[in-house]
Amino acid sequence: MKNSHGNVQALKIAIFFPHKTAFYQYLLHAMCRGFEELGVEVTGHCGLLPEGELVNFCLNYKPNIVLEMNRARCDVQGLPKNVTHICWLVDLWEKSVDQYYGSEMIFFFDPTWKDYYPFESEFFCDYLPPGACTKNQGINRTENIKHDFSFSGHIPKPWNEDELNRKISFEGGPSLRFGELYQAVLTESAHASSCLPPSKAVARINRLIRRGCRVPRVKRLNKDNGLYQLVKYLHGTLYYDVNTRVVRMWGRQQLVQQAINISDSVGIYGTKNWADWEQYRKYYKGMVNNPEDLTSVYSGSRINLHQGVGMHFRVIDCMSVGGAVFVMRRQEKITNGEIGDYFEDGVHFVSFDIDSFAEKASEFLANKHKQQKIGKAAAEVIAASHTWRHRAEKIINDYRRL
């Protein structure tokens, strides 16, 4: 990778994100800026190019690397072999993780996906959380507090009757309505005193499917073991509903309802789906796309709530401007990628489960000094280790080790 003068040869990287939205445009700008600060020539586009157009682009621009979000080389097989393809897998959509393969490098947004990935020995794969924009990061705490609690993110629409009445059947087995399958997964979570989310049940199903293991008998879900067998045959929209939608709906409802139980000063920001939930409609403030407006939300909330992947976009962005973050703990400890692997609980953020939320949140709301102290400490760590320049350095270093 060095030229005749002994200097590191300049790299050319092309980055493609799935759609042209305000979020992707902001993210693309931030990511490109991180590479540019390292002297990398970079170009980017919001919208994945059709295979033929991508091939022609590579022939003309001649990049060393093509980095695409949520698309692997298996879906662009005509891509020149001398171009290293990197897939940054952020959203599975209606696929399973094993349907993304062929790229020389694959990075996972959710660290648990690596555990399910069957091609780890064939392709380079690792965890890659998002970073903060080096232009926008910095402490921006404000005295203009808008909310005790805020949540920024998506919630799926409530189930409608047609969705709940979908028939699921398989050869030699029973026929169930989707509503019965959905309730079975929720029932499994109710058996745990710590309010075990359905994600654990679904994750176990996925592990069994992806590893090709013999499906065990689980009496709680179905005495004939029908649930596990049925899930094996799910695909497309139904797979997404079982694997993602049910988990997200449960988590968001648990999180927001806990805040509402403590205070009426709750602000929900995100897609219009929130307005379809009657119990949350009065708290819904609309969609925020402008980074400056999001900064105002994060810094103007005493507690910013998060449920999901620990090192999420909203967590990084919130911390980068000095916002205080409450993170719902995962039920199962993972080996790498927890927010606690990078930040200290109680110093840079506050973790909680449903049982501890009320006590922790009430104490925190009454302590203005602690709100400011945690926000400031988190912003300092972000600036030192978690900007898009740091993420770009990792990508380049991993690429050079291939």
Residue 12 phi/psi, 5° resolution? -120, 125
Cβ neighbours of residue 173 closer than 8 Å, sequence gap 6 or more: 224, 226, 229, 230
pLDDT band at 175 (very low <50, low <70, confident <90, very high): low
- In the numeric block, the tokens 């409530």 are attached to 158
Residue 141 lies inside a defined structural domain of this protein: no
pLDDT band at 127 (very low <50, low <70, confident <90, very high): very high
Residue with more model confidence, 331 or 101:
101
**246, 269, 284 — which closes off a domain?**
246
Residue with more model confidence, 236 or 49:
49
Q: Which domain holds residue 362?
A: 147-157+253-386
**246, 274, 298 — which closes off a domain?**
246
Question: What CATH number is attached to the domain comprising 85?
Answer: 3.40.50
Residue 4 lies inside a defined structural domain of this protein: no
For residue range 193-217, list pLDDT tens digits in order: 333 334 454 555 455 444 443 333 3
Determine the average pLDDT of the residues in 160-177.
71
For position 7, what pLDDT does the model report?
Answer: 36
Q: What percent of the chain has pLDDT over 90?
A: 59
Residue 7 lies inside a defined structural domain of this protein: no
Residue with more model confidence, 114 or 279:
279
Does residue 260 share a domain with residue 350?
yes
Write the DSSP symbol of residue 76: -
Residue 3 lies inside a defined structural domain of this protein: no
Residue with more model confidence, 312 or 134:
312
Does residue 350 share a domain with residue 274?
yes
Residue with more model confidence, 225 or 395:
395
Question: What CATH number is attached to the domain comprising 315?
Answer: 3.40.50.2000
Domain count, the chain: 3
Does residue 124 share a domain with residue 54?
yes
Does residue 322 share a domain with residue 221?
no
For residue range 309-327, list pLDDT tens digits in order: 789 999 999 999 999 999 9
For position 291, what pLDDT does the model report?
Answer: 78
For position 178, what pLDDT does the model report?
Answer: 76
Does residue 292 share a domain with residue 229?
no
pTM: 0.85
- Which range (7-16, 49-58, 253-262, 313-322) has the least confidence? 7-16
For position 215, what pLDDT does the model report?
Answer: 34
Does residue 228 share a domain with residue 301?
no
Does residue 356 share a domain with residue 292?
yes
Diameter of the chain measured on Cα atoms? 71
Does residue 185 share a domain with residue 44?
no
Determine the average pLDDT of the residues in 372-382.
96
Determine the average pLDDT of the residues in 96-114.
91
- The chain-wide mean pLDDT, for the chain, equals 83
- Alpha helices for 37-147 (secondary structure H): 51-61, 113-116
DSSP characters over 108-132: ESSTTHHHH-TTTTTSEEEE----B
